[in-house]
Amino acid sequence: MADFDLVIRNAQAVTASDIFHCDIGVRDGRVVQLGLGLGAGTHEIDAAGRAVTPGGVDTHCHLDQPQAPPVVSADDFLTGSRSAACGGTTTVIPFAAQHKGQSLREAVDDYHRRANGKSCIDYAFHLIVSDPTPTVLKEELPALIAEGYTSFKIYMTYDDMKLDDRQILEVLDVARSHGAMAMIHAENSDCIAWLTGRLQAAGKTAPRYHAHARPLLVEREATHRAIALSELVDVPILIVHVSGREAVEQIRWGRAHGLQVFAETCPQYLFLTAEDLGIDDSYEGAKCVCSPPPRDKANQQVIWDGLADGLFTVISSDHAPYNFEGEGGKHPAGEEVPFNHIPNGIPGIETRMALLWSEGVLGGRITPQKFVELTATNPAKAYGLHPRKGTIAVGGDADLVIWDERELVLTNGMLHHAVDYTPYEGMRLAAWPGTTIARGQVVWDGTRYLGQAGQGRFLPCGLPTLLPARREMAAGR
C-alpha cells in the first residue's frame, strides 16, 4: 500500500520566507510530509525541479453577485472557480452583498445558494454592508462574524452601496469590537458625481472619460478620510484596489504615524493605463472600465515599488465579470452607453497569478517569496484562513501550483471564464501554471480542466492573523 495519496517529487518549494528542494507528500487532501526520498504515492508527479508555490488565495473577486438590472455577472461559481483553478488559484473570497433594505443574513443565505454545489475550489465570503441599521450593527454583524464571516467591505462611492462617514464609523466600531477586517473602497462619491455632471454637460460620454471622472485626487481624498476614520475608531483597515501614487502616499503617511493600514492592489494597475480606456472616443475602451481606473506608466511603477517594498499586503484580481457583447454587459444590444452607465469591473481571476509570476518574478521585480506572500500567505492571514491556506506546510491543505516557464501569448480563447474578452489579449507571458492541485486533487494539468463542480468547500474564516493585538482585544484581554 502506498504511503501517500499523492507525492510531488523534486519540487523547488516556495513559501513567503523560503525556497527549498523537497518532495511533498499528500494524504486526505493535506500536506503530511516534506522531505527528500519520500515513500510511494498512489499518484506521483515529477516537478523536475520546477517552482512549486501555494495555490493562490484570491481575496477580492465578484462571482454571481446580483446586480441592478439589466447588468448580469457573466461568471457564476462554476465558471468563476473553474477559471480561477486553471490560473493557479485554489481559494476565493467573493462578496455576499447586502442591498439596502435587505438583512445581512438574507444576503448570506442567498449567496450560499448561489455557491452550493458549483465551486471546484474552496471558498469563503466577505460581506458588503450597505445598510447598517441598528439590527445589522448590534445583532447580525456580530453573529455573522462569530460564524466565520470575519471581513466586510465598505463603499465610499456607488449610490446603491455607499455609506456616509457616520455610518462608516459605526461599522468600523463593530470591526474593532469583534476583531473583524474592514475593507474600504476609497473614492469620493460627490467629487465623481460633480465631475461626471460636467463631462456629460460637455458631451464627453465616451469610455475614456471614466478616468477623467475619477482622477487620483478622488482616491487620495477618500483614502485619507478612511485612514482618519479608522484612526478615530482605533481599528485597522485594508484599502482595496489601490491604483496609484496619491493613495499610496496616504497609506505611507498613515503607516508612518503608527496606524494599521493594510493595502491591496490588482494587476490592472500594473498592466493597464488610462489609454486602454481609449485615446479617442472609441467604445472598445469600455472593456477596461473599472474603478478606480487604470492610471499611467509612472503610477504603474509606484505600484510595482509598493509591491516590492512591503507597502502592499495583498494582490487580488478584483475579478468583476461582465461581457462586452453578451447579455447584461458593457455594450448592451450593441448600444454605446455613456461611461457612467458602463458596468464597472474587468475579468482577471485566471490571469492574476501568471501575470505576476511572469512579469513580477521572472521580470526581476519581486522575489518568488514576495510573490507567495502577496498572492497567498498574506491574503490567507488577512482573512483568517492561514495556515490551512496560503502556505506549504505539514498540516496545511495541499493547494499547490507547479509552474511551467514557457513563452505564450495570452488570448481569451485559452481562458475558462464565461466572459467574452480579456483586457490582456495578445500580451506575451513567460509562464503559466502547469498544474494546479486543490486539496490534493489535480484540477488543472496545463491543458485540461479536471475539477468537478461542488468539490470546493465553504470555509468559515477565523479572525485576521495579521493583527494579533486585535485578536487579544476581541477576546477581552
- By CB under 5 A, name the binding residues for Zn ion: 185, 318
137 CB-near residues (< 8 Å, 6+ apart): 170, 171, 174
Nearer to ligand URP, 320 or 429 (CB): 320
- 81 lies in the site for ligand URP, by CB under 6 A: no
Is the Cβ of residue 320 or residue 398 nearer to ligand URP in the bound state? 320
- Does 221 help bind ligand URP (rule: CB under 6 A)? no
Round the CA-based radius of gyration of the chain to a whole number and report it.
21
Which C-beta is closer to ligand URP: that of 231 or that of 284?
284
Write the CB contacts of 166 (distance below 8 Å, at least 6 apart in sequence).
none
Residue 104: CB minimum distance to ligand URP, A: 18
Q: How far apart are CA 223 and CA 51, in angstroms?
A: 37
Pairing of strands 51-54, 400-404: antiparallel
Q: Which is nearer to ligand URP, 23 or 219 (CB)?
A: 219
Residue 290 sits in the site that holds ligand URP (CB under 6 A): yes
- CA separation, residue 70 to residues 67, 242, 286, 341 (Å): 8, 28, 16, 11
Q: Rule CB under 6 A: say whether 320 interacts with ligand URP.
A: yes
Q: Which of 400, 383, 379 is nearest to 460 (CA)?
A: 383
Verify binding: residue 241, ligand URP, rule CB under 6 A: yes
Contact 112, 118 (CB under 8 A): no
Rounded to the nearest whole angstrom, what is the least distance from the CB of residue 241 to Zn ion in the complex? 6
Nearer to Zn ion, 195 or 240 (CB): 240
Beta carbon of residue 122, minimum distance to Zn ion (angstroms, whole number): 20
As measured in angstroms, the least distance from the Cβ of 200 to ligand URP is 20
Closest CB to ligand URP among residues 149, 432: 149
The residues near 203 (Cβ < 8 Å, ≥ 6 apart) are none
Q: Which of 155, 432 has the CB closer to Zn ion? A: 155
**Beta carbon nearer to ligand URP, 320 or 356:** 320
Q: How far is the CB of 41 from Zn ion (least distance, A)?
A: 39
Phi then psi for 199, rounded to 5 degrees? Answer: -65, -45
Contact between 291 and ligand URP per CB under 6 A = yes
User: Does position 345 bind ligand URP by CB under 6 A?
Assistant: yes
Residues 387-446 interacting with ligand URP (rule: CB under 6 A): none
Cα angle: 305, vertex 265, 263; to 5 degrees = 85
Give the H/E segment covering residue 400.
strand 400-404
Q: Give the C-alpha separation, 90 to 106, whole Å.
A: 27
315 interacts with ligand URP by CB under 6 A: no
**Residue holding cell 448592451?**
332
Judged by CB, which is closer to Zn ion: 26, or 128?
Answer: 128
Distance in Å, CB of 272 to ligand URP, minimum: 12
Minimum gap (Å) between residue 187 Cβ and Zn ion: 8
DSSP E strand stretches across 15-150: 19-27, 30-35, 41-46, 51-54, 56-58, 89-92, 95-97, 122-123, 126-128
Which residues, 27 to 66, sit near ligand URP by CB under 6 A? 62
Please identify which residue in 318, 359, 399, 420 interacts with ligand URP, judged by CB under 6 A.
318
Dist. CA 140–CA 447, nearest whole Å: 44
Of 265 and 436, the one with the shorter C-beta distance to ligand URP is 265
Query: How far apart, in whole angstroms, are the C-alpha atoms of residue 81 and residue 449?
Result: 11
Q: Among ligand URP, Zn ion, none, what does residue 290 contact (CB within 5–8 Å per kind)?
A: ligand URP
Q: φ, ψ for residue 91 (rounded to 5)?
A: -145, 135
Q: Residue 176 binds which entry of Zn ion, ligand URP, none, with Cβ cut-offs from 5 to 8 Å by kind? A: none
Nearest approach in angstroms of CB 437 to Zn ion is 27
Q: Is 185 in the site for ligand URP (CB under 6 A)?
A: yes
Per partner kind, with CB cut-offs from 5 to 8 A, the member of ligand URP, Zn ion, none near residue 344 is ligand URP
Q: Using CB distances below 5 to 8 A depending on partner kind, what does residue 416 bind out of ligand URP, Zn ion, none?
A: none
The secondary structure of 54-69 as a DSSP string is EPEEE-SB-SS---ST
**Binding-site ranges for ligand URP (CB under 6 A):** 62, 185, 241, 290-291, 318, 320, 344-345
